[in-house]
Each structure stands twice: as structure tokens, then as C-alpha cells.
Structure 1
Amino acid sequence: MGLYNYSALNAENAVVEGVLEENDETAVARRLMLQGLRPLEIRQRSPAKMTLPLARFRSQKISTADINFFTKQIALLLNAGLPLDGALRVMKQQATKPAFKEFTGTIERDLKEGKSFSQALAKHPKHFSSMYVNMARAGEEGGILPAMLVRTSEYQSTFQDLKQFIISASIYPVILIFVGTVALTILVTLILPKFEVLFEGVGKQLPLHVRMLMETAKLISSHFFLTILLLAIPPIALISYLRTSKGRRVADRLLIRTPLLANFIRDMETTKIFRTLEVLVNNGVHLATALKISSGVASNSEYQHLLHQATQALKEGQRVGKRIKAEGLLPDLAVDLLSIGEESGRVGQVCGQIADHFENELRVRIKRLIALVEPVFIVFIAIFIGYVVFSMLSVILSISDIAV
């Protein structure tokens, strides 16, 4: 059994809080309902943790987790019978993070000024995407806002899980690359220069490749920070160029033509686009609007342009599947299934099946790509260190021959 903090509504719609000891959240909710309370939030109590200054600084910003929490809690409060402004007021009262309290207060004020919920959300494009706003608008117009928010929360959770999977799978390769880079830096800046003293008294001229290696190590160790600065300039210049619209377009074109990355990008964009189409179309958003919103979800500008073309084709009375197949960016399977969905009137359901299939494909590709990165980098380090060791040993052995 564990301790659970809860907040609930009593018969007078007043918020009450407390702590209960039960086996799980379901048991806590059942016990509260037996007491005539309607559960709003149930959280397992965790041991107090020391808060670092950096963590306190970060806690003042609205994070993705805060937006997910906001979505779930608004849906929960609305389902409990509270009006929208009352739900926002309860969330503001319960908020412990100042930034989140101010954030919910701003949306509540917009509602009091006569704006709709979707209009209030649209004023915060940093936190709410056009997809989120359109889902909220569809929920308001159809009178099913709580259900729409629940589906939006599920949509966000799907992409959050995929993002966490990519991050978790990348941790080991990143650590490997970092440790290998540190090892090579120590070898070049600290170890190799010590051999210079040994080789100074040799009457025989060192081989060209050894001289070049020693001079490079000497230069780096003597001007270490200058070397770091010179090495940093090209990446910084490249990043600055990629931030421009022209640079981004060039990079996006190259990425979709790079052998190892093209399939990875294709599956990722396909998953994002069709998952968004599934949620929007299944919840009453017109396909043309859904395509326009999905273009904002796509990361690659080539796919964004493709969706803009598909939107225009749909407005002109053409089939979407036929239009996007001509570009060859999306997989043939996805395009063919979309065409079948258009003919059968089941676009939303088919888009969900496409997204599920290519999400699984994406996870497999990520595992394979990371499995490839590890041995390639290990082999690179082994070749470089082996070359250095062989060069040094060959010179040392030649010195021994001269001495004999």
C-alpha cells in the first residue's frame, strides 16, 4: 500500500484535498466516491527531493509536461461537471508553479472577455499548435470539448512516447562518442607530445607520416583553445546557415536523398503526418483543413510543400492520394491505402492504420541505425589509436636498431 494525495469536489462543488493510504489510484477513487466526493486528481506521494538552483530556474517555464497536464486536468474537471471558467479557476488555485498559475489565469481572463476557449489557446502558439487549437474549436462547436481534449492528450502522449524512445535509444551512442572524443583528445594533446623528447636525439630522420602526426599534436597541444575555436567555427557557420529559409530548404533536400537517413526521415514524417490526419479527420475536421494543419506538423520543408500541394489539389476537386503519389516522397503503401480510404470514406481510420505501421517501422530503423553507429565509431577509434601506436612503435624499434 502507498500514500496518495488527492483533490476532489464535494456536494457543494468545493475543492477538498487530503491523503489516503490505498493499494492504487483506482482504490483511492472508489473510496472517495463512497464518501460522496468526485475525484479531480490522484497522485502517489513521492519522497521529498532536494531542488537544485537550475531545476528551480527551469520550473519557472511552461514545459510540454505542463501542457499535457493542463489538457488532462481540463478534460477531467469538465467531465466532473464544472464549467470551463470554473475548471480554469480551480487549476489556477491548485497550481504550485508561478508561471503555470499565471498561464491559466491568462486563459481564464480571455474567457471572461468573451473569447472562446480555442481563441484563448490560439494566443499561445508556443504552447498550443494549430492542430491543438483546431481540435479545441471542433470540440466547442460539437459540444464535445472534454472528449476532444482527451483525444488530444492521447495524441500528445503518442508523440511524447516516440520522442522518449528516440532519446533513450541515443543515450549510449552519445556517451560512447563523448568518451571516445575525450580519449582521442588526451592522446593527441598529452601523450604524443611526450614522445617528441624521445625522438629529438635520433640521428635518423623520422618518416613523413610520423613527422606530420607529431607536428599536428604539438600544434594542438600548444594552441589548444585556438584549435577548439577554429574547429567550432565551421559548425557554427553551418548552423547559422541552416537557420535561414534557404539553408533549411537545401538541407531538407539533401537529407531526403542521403542513403542512410532518407528512409528514417520518410518513416518519421509519414508517422507524424498520418497520425495528425487520423486524429483530426476522426473528430470532424475537414480533410483540407487537416492537411493544412499537418503541414505544420511536418519537420521537413519538402513534406510541408507536398501537403500544401495536396490541400490545393483537394480544393480543386482532385484526389489527395493521386496528387501526392506523383512526388514520390511518401511510401507507396501509405499513398495507396490513403486512396482506398478516400474511395471508401474511411480516411481517418486508414490514416490511423498507416501511422501505426510506420511508427513500428520507425522504431525498428532507429534501433538498426544506432546499432550501426556504435561499431562504426568503435572501429574508427581503433584505427586511429592503432595507427598512432604502430607509428610510435616503428620509430622506437628503428631507434633500437640504430643503437645496436
Structure 2
Amino acid sequence: MNIFYYKATDRLGKPIEGNLEAPDYQNAVAQLRGLNYFPIQVSDNQPDKNFSIKRPLQINGLRNKISAKDLVSITQQLATLVDSGITLDKSLSILVDLVEKSQAKEILTKVHKKVHAGSSFADALAEFPKVFSKLYINMIRAGEAGGTLAPSLNSVASFLEKSEELKANIKSAMIYPAILTSVGGFAILVLFTVVIPRFSKLFDELGAALPLPTKIMLFLSTFITNHWLAIIMVFILLVAGFIFYLKQKKGRLHWDGIVLGLPLFGSLAQKIEVSRFSRTMATLLSSGVAILGALNITQAILNNRMIAATMGQLRQGLKEGNGLSKPLQQTGVFPPLAIHMIAIGEETGTLDKMLTKVANTYDREVERSIKQLISLIEPFMILSMA
């Protein structure tokens, strides 16, 4: 009998670590599953005494080494192989040969070894929490349990693809305002530090009385020129203070609440989060993940902490038998259209499909809102610089 050291979580997500006796690795994993634990790592090598499961796992220094685009491609290829009737073990072996990037190949090789040794696919993926998200792992786990691994892989790939598409649309739409802001800011800086000081000497020589706007411009120019180092230091301190403020739980919650209340920007942030919430829930539910578990995963994915905080209210409503639409309405942060569509999905028994429609609807709304916002920002910025 060998002693195996393990790191695992129970069904509530509480971290557990310890050791057990087993003849081999497969038997050790089976014993942990028999205890209703989800193995994260099982090894016959004793871990360092300072190691704690509560700290982020370092898997040979591999952190976020697979890009979102590559992850989508890998997932789609694996889904195709599994759907063709090839065993998961063989599919992973083929996939390792197909992948070109060394980082991805190394991670997939380790995953394949775990699966080949008897570990479940989800448990093998859980060894790389910085590469495979909780959503990814839980959907794979649900697919394995229900015998629908290929559809689950396709759903994950579709979700990742849609998420990246939304991010790309937002980034591409903000490129022009960012360039305009940078060029405008540089032009104003040159104006105050180079052009206006030259006019200042001319005005001094003339000795004529100057209007108030001109005096203000000259004062600002002199102040910036003489105190530029102090201005930079103050700016750096303000940025650092703001970052520190956002890293605090209460600070982030307060700021996200302010964002939701802003004209134009608040509506856009709400639509983005509604789309993200709906697509995540739809993907998880269609893969067989229980609705309470799906809410827990979705809460971690949402960027706006104010909206994420309402997930606790949704869980309580579900436990009381109120469904999803009624608690959503009570939160006051979800738009009526989304709530109405979700209510129809609950009544017709097609909640996952209706959530997908909600996500698609608000994806289009996000694109429309971004275009509208840019059309308003552009003349405002030009007018401000003028």
C-alpha cells in the first residue's frame, strides 16, 4: 500500500487536503470520489509543509498560457473527435499531436496523462485553474456524468467564441475614441507648454489689458510649465489610489453601483452584464448543470459586482420555489424585457433556449449602444478640444 497526498474540495466547494492509503493512483481517486470529494491533485510525493490549497496552484509555472482563441479551437477539435466515436483517451492523444504551440501541448499532455491514469476529464482539467475556468470544468463534469461530453464541448466552444466576439466588438468600437483622446490630449499639452508661453511673452511686450479667458489660459500654461513634475506625481498617486479603491470589496461594489447610474454608460454596462449572465446560464443549464450551481459559477463570471451581488437573492428565491424571473424582477437591476423573456422560458419549459435568445438580443443591443455612444462622444470631444 502506498500513501497518496491529495488536495480536493467537497460539494460545497470547501478546500480539503490530507492523505490516504491506496495500492495505486486510480484507487486513490476512486476513494476520494467515494467520499464525495472532487480531487484537484493526487500525488504520492509529500507536498511542502508551507503549501496550502487556499493559495493559487502553480502547475510548473503555467498560468494563462492558452489564449482564448486557441482554447476555442482546441475545444472544437476535441468535440469533433469525441463526437466521431473516438474514445476520450485517444482523442486527447490525437489532439496533443495536432496542437502546435508548446505551452498548449504541454498542458494537454499532462491532462492526457491524468485521464489515461484513470482520472476523470473534469478532474484533470481542474489541475489548471488558471487555464480552464470553473464554467469550463463544471460543464465537462456534467457532460461526463450525463454521457453527453461532445455536446458539452460544443457548448463550451460556442460560449467562449461568443464571449470573445463580444469583447472584440467592444474593443474595436473603442479604438477610435481612444485614438481621438490621445491625439487631442497631446495637442492640448503642446498648446499649453509650447505655443501659449510664446504668446505670453508677446502679450507682456504689448502691455495691453487681456480678457479673462486669455488670462486663465496663460495662468494654466504657466502653472503646468512650472509644476509639471508635481502634476505627474499627483496624477500617479490618484491613479494608484483609485486602483487600490477598486481592489477593496466595498470600493468595487460602490464604484460598480455608480457606473450603473451613469447616463449612457450605465445602460451599456447593464446590457453587457445581462448578455453575459444569460449566455452563461443558458450554456450551463443546457449541459445539465443544476441551476443553483449554475448561479454560483455565473456570479464569479460577472464583472459588475453590484449585479453579481444579486445572485444571492436569486438563489434564495429559487430555494423558496419562486423560479428565476420573479427574484430577477425583485433585484431591480435587470431590464423588463429580459425578465419577461425568462418568465416565458420558465412557463414553456425552455429556459435554456430563452436565455440564449436573451443573450443574442442584448448582444445586438450592446453593439447598437456602443455605436450610439461613439456618435455622441466624437462631436463632444472635438468640441471640448476646440
TM-score (norm 2): 0.78
Matched residue count:
323
- Counterpart CA distance in 1 for 2:117 and 2:217 is 71
Q: 1:94 to 1:322 in 2, by over 3 A?
A: closer
Higher-Rg member (1/2): 1
The equivalent of 2:158 in structure 1 is: 154
Asked if the contact 2:279/2:355 (under 8 Å) is kept, the reply is: yes
Letter aligned with residue 177 of structure 2: P
- Counterpart CA distance in 2 for 1:276 and 1:251 is 24
Shift of 1:88: 2.4
CA-based RMSD:
2.0
Letter aligned with residue 117 of structure 1: F
- Counterpart CA distance in 1 for 2:109 and 2:199 is 67
Asked if the contact 1:295/1:307 (under 8 Å) is kept, the reply is: yes
Letter aligned with residue 162 of structure 1: L
The equivalent of 1:128 in structure 2 is: 132
Letter aligned with residue 340 of structure 1: I
Letter aligned with residue 72 of structure 1: Q
Tell whether 2:369 aligns with 1:361.
no
The equivalent of 1:26 in structure 2 is: none
The equivalent of 1:248 in structure 2 is: 252
Shift of 1:209: 4.5
Instruction: After TM superposition, list the pairs within 5 Å mapping 1:386-397 onto structure 2.
Output: none
Q: 1:354 to 1:199 in 2, by over 3 A?
A: same
Letter aligned with residue 238 of structure 1: F
- Counterpart CA distance in 2 for 1:134 and 1:61 is 21
The equivalent of 1:168 in structure 2 is: 172
- Counterpart CA distance in 2 for 1:248 and 1:308 is 17
Letter aligned with residue 335 of structure 1: I
- Counterpart CA distance in 2 for 1:271 and 1:199 is 58
For each residue in 1:258-292, what CA deviation from the matched residue of structure 2 results, as whole angstroms up to 9, or x when unmatched?
A: 22222112211111111122222223222222222
Q: 1:277 to 1:203 in 2, by over 3 A?
A: closer
For each residue in 1:13-34, what CA deviation from the matched residue of structure 2 results, as whole angstroms up to 9, or x when unmatched?
A: xxxxxxxxxxxxxxxxxxxxxx
Q: 1:356 to 1:93 in 2, by over 3 A?
A: closer
Shift of 1:350: 1.7
- Counterpart CA distance in 2 for 1:264 and 1:203 is 52
The equivalent of 2:239 in structure 1 is: 235
Shift of 1:381: 0.6
Letter aligned with residue 347 of structure 2: E
Instruction: After TM superposition, list the pairs within 5 Å mapping 1:52-131 onto structure 2.
Output: 61-131=65-135
Tell whether 2:289 aligns with 1:282.
no
Work out which structure has the larger RCO, using CA pairs closer than 8 Å and 6 or more positions apart in sequence.
Answer: 2
Q: 1:260 aligns with which of 260, 264, 268?
A: 264
The equivalent of 1:348 in structure 2 is: 352
- Counterpart CA distance in 2 for 1:150 and 1:118 is 15
- Counterpart CA distance in 1 for 2:323 and 2:191 is 61
Shift of 1:125: 2.4
Q: 1:263 to 1:191 in 2, by over 3 A?
A: same
Shift of 1:208: 5.0
Query: Which ranges of structure 2 fall in alignment gaps of 5 or more residues?
Result: 1-63
Asked if the contact 2:68/2:160 (under 8 Å) is kept, the reply is: no
Q: Which moved more, 1:104-113 or 1:182-191?
A: 104-113
Letter aligned with residue 73 of structure 2: F
Q: Which moved more, 1:145-154 or 1:278-287?
A: 278-287
For each residue in 1:287-321, what CA deviation from the matched residue of structure 2 results, as whole angstroms up to 9, or x when unmatched?
A: 22222222222211122121222122212322221
- Counterpart CA distance in 2 for 1:101 and 1:319 is 43
Q: Secondary structure at the match of 2:322?
A: coil
The sequence identity of aligned pairs, in percent, is: 33
Tell whether 2:208 aligns with 1:189.
no
Shift of 1:112: 3.5
- Counterpart CA distance in 1 for 2:117 and 2:253 is 42
Letter aligned with residue 66 of structure 1: D
- Counterpart CA distance in 2 for 1:92 and 1:289 is 31
Shift of 1:159: 1.4
- Counterpart CA distance in 2 for 1:326 and 1:95 is 48
Q: 1:323 aligns with which of 317, 321, 327?
A: 327
TM-score (norm 1): 0.75
The equivalent of 1:293 in structure 2 is: 297
Q: Which moved more, 1:228-237 or 1:189-198?
A: 228-237
Q: Which moved more, 1:198-207 or 1:272-281?
A: 198-207
Asked if the contact 1:190/1:221 (under 8 Å) is kept, the reply is: no
Tell whether 2:193 aligns with 1:218.
no
Q: 1:181 to 1:90 in 2, by over 3 A?
A: same
Q: Which moved more, 1:100-109 or 1:247-256?
A: 100-109
Q: Secondary structure at the match of 1:329?
A: coil
Q: Which moved more, 1:197-206 or 1:103-112?
A: 197-206
Q: Which moved more, 1:73-82 or 1:266-275?
A: 73-82
- Counterpart CA distance in 1 for 2:296 and 2:147 is 24
For each residue in 1:53-104, what CA deviation from the matched residue of structure 2 results, as whole angstroms up to 9, or x when unmatched?
A: xxxxxxx932111211221121122234433233323333343322112211
Asked if the contact 2:245/2:251 (under 8 Å) is kept, the reply is: yes
Q: 1:207 to 1:336 in 2, by over 3 A?
A: closer
- Counterpart CA distance in 2 for 1:170 and 1:366 is 8
